[in-house]
Amino acid sequence: MKIGFLFPGQGAQSVGMGKDLYDKYEEYRNVYKKVKELTGVDVEDITFNSSEEDLSQTKNTQICILTMSLAILELLKKENIQAIASCGLSLGEYSALINSNSISFEDGVKIVKTRGEIMQKLCPEGTWSMAAILGLDEEKVTKVCNEIKTGFVAPANFNCPGQIVISGEKNAIDEAIEKLKVEGAKRAIELKTSGPFHTKMLEKASIQLRNELEKVQINSFKTKVIKNIDGKEYSEDDDVKDILANHIINPVRFEDGLRRMIDMGIDTFIEIGPGKSLSGFVRKINKELKILNVNSVETLQNLINEITISNGGKI
């Protein structure tokens, strides 16, 4: 069994996510405690007691999703469940880098808090939106986005076959959706995000984030991590700080990353954190792979059982 970890990004959040894990496991609670000590952010209160609107503020969403993913990782470490490679969707790339030891827990938590604040503060004025377009290829989606003249819209995420996310001004997104439906799009789903992420509109945020990344120490990779920016694995020669700064102004090549992991021989994918979207992306590429997710006590136990059975009674 070759395991790959997947970490979700912004848009997967929901109030109360992971509450049963928090209530049951001390190791899980300790991560929330450490994050609060490092950042001053009461992640527990925001995650479990705030409104959807408050949780969906970028400065809150990013640190809350990261904390949940890192807390689940602690539970997996206890069970000796490890991956040979990992990939995160946008924000999730930081969870993957922390898991690989390329970025320390402390530095990772602090820079994600800062990243969320920068992306919220330096989001340009306007009404922004993101939408997942189902049923069209990259060429058609890009062509329609380039034809929109009423406002800015561009492809932002290439998630899996037949799912591409567009990002931009709300009126331009609405017009693009209508044109994409004429082109044959099966459906358009508005996402729970609040800015033109992964487009040139966040240039100022990218520059400021690059400055903040100077405070982060980059270590050798303990396990392989797949980049969003090109779908390839990080090498020791990569400038991780530049890649992470450019990450927020370039499209996410998540499908390419998944295909790279499959080419590496990964046959079991484990999605770690809220939601199950990334599991769905894997299924769109290859339904024969084993795909599991962990976001609750029940799903954690299911994972442990599955791996135990696959390994002949051993974790």
pLDDT tens, position by position, 191-244: 877 689 999 999 999 999 999 999 999 999 999 999 999 999 999 999 999 999
What pLDDT does residue 314 have?
59
Q: What's the predicted TM-score (pTM) here?
A: 0.94
What is the DSSP code string of 258-281? HHHHHHTT--EEEEESS-SHHHHH
Model confidence at 315: pLDDT above 60:
no
What pLDDT does residue 195 have?
81
What pLDDT does residue 198 have?
95
Task: Report CA-CA distances (Å) from 55 to 13, 47, 231.
Answer: 8, 7, 29
Just list the catalytic residues. 90, 198
- Annotation: CATH topology of 3-123+201-310: Malonyl-Coenzyme A Acyl Carrier Protein; domain 2 (3.40.366)
Confidence band, pLDDT 50/70/90 cuts, at residue 312: low
| Helix 92-99 / helix 240-247 crossing angle, nearest 10 deg | 160
CATH code that applies to domain 128-193: 3.30.70.250
Cα–Cα distance, 59 to 52 (Å, whole number): 13
Confidence band, pLDDT 50/70/90 cuts, at residue 22: very high
Average pLDDT score over residue span 95-108: 98
Dihedral sign, Cα of residue 247, residue 251, residue 253, residue 254: positive
Same fold, 3-123+201-310 and 128-193: no
Q: What single-letter amino acid sits at 207?
A: I
Confidence band, pLDDT 50/70/90 cuts, at residue 313: low
**91: which 2 tokens?**
């924000």
Task: Report CA-CA distances (Å) from 197 to 95, 166, 193, 206, 255.
Answer: 18, 9, 9, 11, 18
What pLDDT does residue 213 have?
98
Domain parsing of the chain, residue ranges: 3-123+201-310, 128-193
The residues, any chain, with a CB within 8 Å of residue 79's CB and separated by 6 or more, are 304, 307, 315
